[in-house]
Structure 1
Amino acid sequence: MLREDYSTWRCGQHVLSLARPRIMGILNVTPDSFSDGGENTDPAAAVERALQMLDEGADIIDVGGESTRPGAKPVTPEEEAHRIVPVIRGILSKAPTAIISVDTRHAAVAKICVRLGVSILNDVTGFTDPAMVQVAAESDCGCIVMHWNKLGGPVTRRMVQLDSERPARVRRTVPTSTRRFTLPEAAPVMREIMGFLGDQARVLMRAGVSHDRICIDPGPGFDKTYDQDVVIQRATRKLVSMGYPVLNAVSRKRFVGAVSGVKDAPDRDFATTGIALAAVESGARVLRVHDVAGVCQALDTYWAVTKADPRQGFVSIGSNVGDRLENLSRAVRLINEIPMTCVVQASHAYETQPAYGIETSVVNAVVEIRTELAPIVLIDCLLDIETQLKRVRDPRLAGHGPRTIDCDLCFVEDEEHAGPKLTLPHPHLGERDYVLVPMEDLMHDPVRYLMHAGVPVYAPEDRVGHVVAEVGELDWQ
């Protein structure tokens, strides 16, 4: 299918499709961050917040242990590691396929986190430390190169340089407070930022980091004036033209408050969303935000009504209560009624052996769909269908008890996700005979298809829930 953007971002074992924008949820485990300091200093609370953000739609969790707000006190690598290592371990223990980014400028901390399994190195100093470059080169992590000019904003420094070159008599005749334009000239600002980002990206590539692992961030709020930050946001298309994924990281920052009139940082989420959507329209593909739920809702609806982006997907359905064949047929009809979703075809129904603690045999089928809904939205629609068909969940049976219908979202084209509510591809997809055999009704070689998509598939004798008989066709049209 035709898409505007085929780019991907390679982050460790993950190849993150950027055909649609991605959300990076901010998890600060610091006592002094500018808007949420102290909220997640307890590791258990931080892990729960990370899992919550995944269920809200975050594609990436960005864990940071050192505040970079103006005036913040630097922390030692040892203290930073003490803050973030238990959190990273906790997240990956509960969501092993989650994409985790570590926000650090310390090579020693980055190296520890790579061993723990993080997928992205987010360096606010733009990999200017050769030791950080070495860590990046020795890993397969994605790398975020950020611009941070600690000596003053680019335009400020450039204007000081120009003023110093003028004769003293000329400098005195022009009041320094005179302004002829509402914003500074864009060219000097972007020349420095784009030059720095391009230079540092080439440093990484010369060290062995592939182009498709690099993402760039112009560093809004990092020693830049409010006006310069606005200039940078308006120049997002220029940043995109450099050929790297662009990260938009404006969440709750001071310039957001300046342009919106909102003084308190935690109250700037609506304003943040407005700027984030503008950045997406200009080509930014990763949004780093505090309010994951709000930005995801805005982004999903914006994308749905402005971009034609249908995806292929597969839903496994099963029933072991009542008229099982009719339950499956009703489920397919209801799936076909989900907004912005249609059923392409449904497999035959198959009698399968019990698996995962289920005591009775199950009738299963697989439904191929096309959908333009975000997966985190689609899974809620499927859970609603289970409710409509009166599925009863017994918490003592961990989801494996009798059910009138079970709807598992197994696979969506170009989508990865990890969280308590949804994991894509489904973590048990490759071992389920009752999914793989029905998929043969829908395509020539599902094993080859799934393995090409990075899903490991078990040999038939090693699978669970083996198909024992064909039951018949589903009546759904």
Structure 2
Amino acid sequence: MLNQDFATWQCGNRELALARPRIMGVLNVTPDSFSDGGAFKDVDDAVSHGLALLDAGADIIDVGGESTRPGFTAVSPDDEAKRVVPVVRALLDEGALVSIDTRHAAVARMCVRLGVQILNDVTGFTDPEMVQVAADTQCGCVVVHAGEVSDHPTRRSVLLDSDPRSRELPAGPDPAVAEKGADASQERLDAVMARAVRATSSPTVRLAGQRRFPTPESAPIMRRVMGFLGDRARTLMRAGVAHDRICLDPGPGFGKLADEDVVIQRATSQLSSMGYAVMCAVSRKRFVGALSGVQEPTGRDAATIGVCLAAAEAGARVLRVHDVASVAQAVDSYWAIAHPSQKRAFVGLGSNVGDRLDYLSRAVALISEIPLTAVTGVSHAYESDPAYGVDSPVANAVVEVRTELTPEVLLGQLLQIESALGRERPEGMDGHGPRTIDCDLLFMEDEFHAGSRLKLPHPRMHERDFVLFPMEDLVHDPARYLRHAGIAVNDREHRVGIVREDLGVIEWE
């Protein structure tokens, strides 16, 4: 993708930065999916799994109510809607970035009204009604190539020039044959062909089925794939869909042989050069099984990771997978080594028991020891009014860091600091009880996240004076800064936890 490190994918009210690969978790609410059919038919189970995928590192949840595996049974729009709508609604209520995997315009429109931000159309927006749904919204659009890329002809034998049998074929005019006329020429040709037939029928030499190269020629395949995807993208743009809302998916497994899927994956950089976001949706597909020798789809997760890493290095920035946790670990680790980049983040600290300033100081010191993370600023400590059920004043501060870690990994490090400093979480107090230290990941530039473990930006950041007031020590105008990230900050009279006293500088180095 051109300028891929600075590209974004606009998905409704979310702008997904593509400086690093993003993970789309697969959530099938179907009884017949090839990979996990029937596992999440129950709404509660499906929602719980979706939240677990978010906590494991998914940026997007792709909800599908109709299987598209080979030989699938078509589902009516009404039946599909009954499957997906309750799940979509619940995930949206949790703040998730949700994609609807559907080819039905009626289902897509219904989910858009609920708040879905991405339309994932396996038919590549070939239905004018789907194009109209896309044009009427601000959703991100995944254009999938779901067709054959060749006529799949029977594999024929090819004689290499170095093959001794090729020497039996006439290389040019034979003067002796020319003197005998056409009959003699035909007679000689018949004799040569007869020997070739005998050779191919020999029990020890079989040419039928042999190929000159292990994989088919790339150019014809990529002309079909890139031609289709480019045409559909232009159709969407003519209808009013912005360029940065479009993501291309070459559709591995849909009407393609394993050899052809490999060729397409090897050409990911060509797809990226088209200038759109590119998706790698190879999870547990048949060709991955062919590469790894694993027959059972659920056993292909390790091989899926390998293909995803290759695709990401070639420019794919959206990885659609089932096993989010493993892929997230692999991609995060790989990217940190191969493509280091820093992001600005803010961490809120709070303490309301014991030597509060000492706990704040020790917390900052421990944050400075987090790998791939540097403390670049620390606010003064401030005492604020109790809030959210806390019954004693709290000493608060905000720490600014530069980090190369993903939000989920950085959060894990912060939770370890809480444990190291004796933080306890009594049941029934929802984390708002007495605490030696509280380390909240408040904000990280270009990062949005939802889940039961982490929500980013912090969902109550806009109303907390004990966060916004200390931030003024680090950012000239926090309200303006956060407004650019879509966070509308409350006026001070409408905030909670009002700061009452400046407790001074935090000594931590």
Q: TM-score scaled by structure 2?
A: 0.88
Structure 1 distance, partners of 2:467, 2:346, is 10
The letter of the residue matching 1:110 is: A
Residues 410, 417 of structure 1: alpha-carbon distance in 2 compared, 3 angstrom cutoff? same
Q: What is the 5 A alignment of 1:35-74?
A: 35-74=35-74
Using the TM superposition, give the Cα deviation of residue 92 of structure 1 relative to its aligned residue in structure 2, in angstroms: 2.1
Residues 249, 314 of structure 1: alpha-carbon distance in 2 compared, 3 angstrom cutoff? same
Does residue 1:452 correspond to 2:448, yes or no?
A: no
The letter of the residue matching 2:437 is: I
Does residue 1:339 correspond to 2:371, yes or no?
A: yes
Contact 1:155 1:228 in 2 (8 A): no
Deviations 1:57-115 (A, max 9, x none): 0000000000010011111111111111111112223x1x2100000000011011101
Q: Counterpart of 2:9 in 1: which secondary structure?
A: strand
Match of 1:186 in 2: 218
Q: Counterpart of 1:397 in 2: which secondary structure?
A: coil
Which segment drifts farther, 303-312 or 367-376?
303-312
Contact 2:155 2:211 in 1 (8 A): no
The letter of the residue matching 1:395 is: E
Match of 2:329 in 1: 297
Match of 2:29 in 1: 29
Match of 1:231 in 2: 263
Structure 1 distance, partners of 2:231, 2:150, is 16
Match of 1:164 in 2: none
Residues 159, 193 of structure 1: alpha-carbon distance in 2 compared, 3 angstrom cutoff? farther
Q: What is the 5 A alignment of 1:45-194?
A: 45-93=45-93, 95=94, 97-149=95-147, 152-154=148-150, 156=152, 177-194=209-226
Contact 2:341 2:404 in 1 (8 A): yes
Q: Counterpart of 1:453 in 2: which secondary structure?
A: coil
Using the TM superposition, give the Cα deviation of residue 178 of structure 1 relative to its aligned residue in structure 2, in angstroms: 4.2
Deviations 1:330-365 (A, max 9, x none): 000000001111101100000101111111110100
Contact 1:451 1:457 in 2 (8 A): yes
Which of 299, 306, 317 aligns to 2:349? It is 317
Match of 2:160 in 1: none
Match of 2:249 in 1: 217
Q: Counterpart of 1:419 in 2: which secondary structure?
A: coil
Structure 1 distance, partners of 2:349, 2:415, is 12
Using the TM superposition, give the Cα deviation of residue 219 of structure 1 relative to its aligned residue in structure 2, in angstroms: 0.3
Match of 1:197 in 2: 229
Using the TM superposition, give the Cα deviation of residue 159 of structure 1 relative to its aligned residue in structure 2, in angstroms: 9.8
Deviations 1:198-248 (A, max 9, x none): 000010011111011100000000010000000000000000000001000
Greater C-alpha Rg: 2
Using the TM superposition, give the Cα deviation of residue 154 of structure 1 relative to its aligned residue in structure 2, in angstroms: 2.6
Q: Counterpart of 1:109 in 2: which secondary structure?
A: helix
Q: What is the 5 A alignment of 1:380-391?
A: 380-391=412-423
Deviations 1:155-198 (A, max 9, x none): 537999xxxxxxxx99x999773421111000000001001000
Q: Counterpart of 2:23 in 1: which secondary structure?
A: strand
Match of 1:405 in 2: 437
Which of 438, 448, 470 aligns to 2:502? It is 470
Structure 2 distance, partners of 1:448, 1:396, is 36
Using the TM superposition, give the Cα deviation of residue 18 of structure 1 relative to its aligned residue in structure 2, in angstroms: 0.5
Structure 1 distance, partners of 2:155, 2:293, is 28
Number of aligned positions between the proteins: 462
Structure 2 distance, partners of 1:18, 1:158, is 41
Using the TM superposition, give the Cα deviation of residue 265 of structure 1 relative to its aligned residue in structure 2, in angstroms: 0.5
Q: What is the 5 A alignment of 1:255-294?
A: 255-294=287-326
Contact 1:107 1:131 in 2 (8 A): yes
Structure 2 distance, partners of 1:290, 1:19, is 22
Q: Counterpart of 1:344 in 2: which secondary structure?
A: strand
Does residue 1:245 correspond to 2:277, yes or no?
A: yes
Using the TM superposition, give the Cα deviation of residue 117 of structure 1 relative to its aligned residue in structure 2, in angstroms: 1.0
The letter of the residue matching 2:21 is: P
Contact 1:8 1:15 in 2 (8 A): yes
Match of 1:435 in 2: 467
Match of 1:367 in 2: 399
Contact 2:29 2:41 in 1 (8 A): yes
Does residue 1:379 correspond to 2:411, yes or no?
A: yes
Match of 1:329 in 2: 361
Structure 2 distance, partners of 1:308, 1:269, is 26
Structure 2 distance, partners of 1:159, 1:306, is 40
Residues 158, 217 of structure 1: alpha-carbon distance in 2 compared, 3 angstrom cutoff? farther
Which segment drifts farther, 309-318 or 391-400?
391-400
Structure 1 distance, partners of 2:309, 2:87, is 30
Structure 2 distance, partners of 1:251, 1:220, is 9
Contact 1:155 1:184 in 2 (8 A): no
Using the TM superposition, give the Cα deviation of residue 55 of structure 1 relative to its aligned residue in structure 2, in angstroms: 0.4
Contact 1:391 1:405 in 2 (8 A): yes
Structure 1 distance, partners of 2:12, 2:46, is 23
The letter of the residue matching 2:396 is: N
Structure 1 distance, partners of 2:268, 2:294, is 23
Structure 2 distance, partners of 1:402, 1:73, is 56
Q: TM-score scaled by structure 1?
A: 0.94
The letter of the residue matching 1:331 is: A
Q: Counterpart of 1:393 in 2: which secondary structure?
A: coil
Deviations 1:402-459 (A, max 9, x none): 1010000000111010011111111111111111111111121111111112111111
Which of 373, 380, 385 aligns to 1:353? It is 385
Please give the root-mean-square deviation of Cα atoms over the aligned residues, in Å: 1.8
Contact 1:158 1:188 in 2 (8 A): no
Match of 2:180 in 1: none
Structure 2 distance, partners of 1:310, 1:376, is 15
Q: Percent identity?
A: 62
Unaligned runs of 5+ in 2: 157-189, 201-206
Contact 1:27 1:46 in 2 (8 A): yes
